[in-house]
Amino acid sequence: MKIDTLEKKHNGYKLNGFSIEDIGDDHMFTGLETPLKEDAFKLSDAQKKECIAILFEEIMDVMGLDLTDDSLKGTPNRVAKMYIDEIFSGLNPKNKPQVALFDNKYQYNQMLVEKNISFYSNCEHHFVPIIGKTHIAYVSSGKVIGLSKLNRIVQYYAKRPQVQERLTNQIANELKKILDTEDIAVIIDAKHLCVSSRGIKDDTSATVTAYYGGLFKNSEKITELQNYINN
């Protein structure tokens, strides 16, 4: 449902009786595509960093921080550089990893599993970290991908404001397209600092999401995959 269906109330925006805060906390109404403006890349990376530094300096000033302090005066520029060049670099399509495929000369027709791919992302509702592991499996349709490219695909989609459900599906859809197969599985096990450091402040819970396509919809394949992951 589009954002323009929201009705502004005097106590905040509501959609079907839910407040914006409720929607954000409960991961509802999220779509597959990362929500970007049509002119998202009108500014160059250098221009974006300049603007972010100015705006973040204002945030720090409003919070009452002394920007003349040696430890703080470089922070706005550091944050701007970090946002554009590092933790949100996956927003820019130019940073998408180039992937080369190879013929499956070994005729290996069983599942290939790359497990425990570490990633750091950021919750799009509070801009605090999501830290976790991704497990990927696929059965070759005739082509194979370099193992490191699986890691790079995970990192590319993780390095943007995210929702874990969306991240799971974005990785799966990218692999389906690249490998030309439905036989893809993606499992993400992650810790959300928006849960552990604020709100409910539960430091022990983790969130698991999964995508199973093609052969991986078979319960025996799922069990086999889970055995590989857990051993």
Residue 96 maps to a domain: no
pTM above 0.85, yes or no: yes
State the catalytic residue, choosing from 27, 170, 194, 226.
194
pLDDT band with cut points at 50, 70 and 90 for residue 201: confident
Find where tokens 């509070």 sit. Answer: 126
Q: Is the pLDDT of residue 4 over 70?
A: no
192 tagged catalytic? yes
- Per-residue pLDDT band at 12 (split at 50, 70, 90): low
pLDDT score recorded for residue 28? 56
Number of domains in the chain: 3
Domain identity same for 170 and 206: yes
Task: Give the pLDDT confidence score for residue 89 in this predicted structure.
Answer: 98
Whether 10 is catalytic:
no
Catalytic, 51? Answer no
Shared domain for 125 and 213, answered yes or no, is yes
Among the options 123, 155, 162, 174, which is catalytic? 123
Catalytic residue among 57, 135, 155, 164: 164
Q: Does 46 map to a domain?
A: yes
Domain that holds residue 24: 1-30
Q: Look at residue 144 and tell me whether its pLDDT is greater than 90.
A: yes
* pLDDT of 37 over the 90 cut: yes
Say what the pLDDT of residue 27 is. Answer: 56
**If pLDDT is split at 50, 70 and 90, which confidence band does 23 have?**
low
- 123 labelled catalytic: yes
User: What does pLDDT average to over the chain?
Assistant: 90
Active site residue 224: no
| Residues 150 and 117: beta-carbon distance below 8 Å | yes
125 is catalytic: yes
Active site residue 47: no
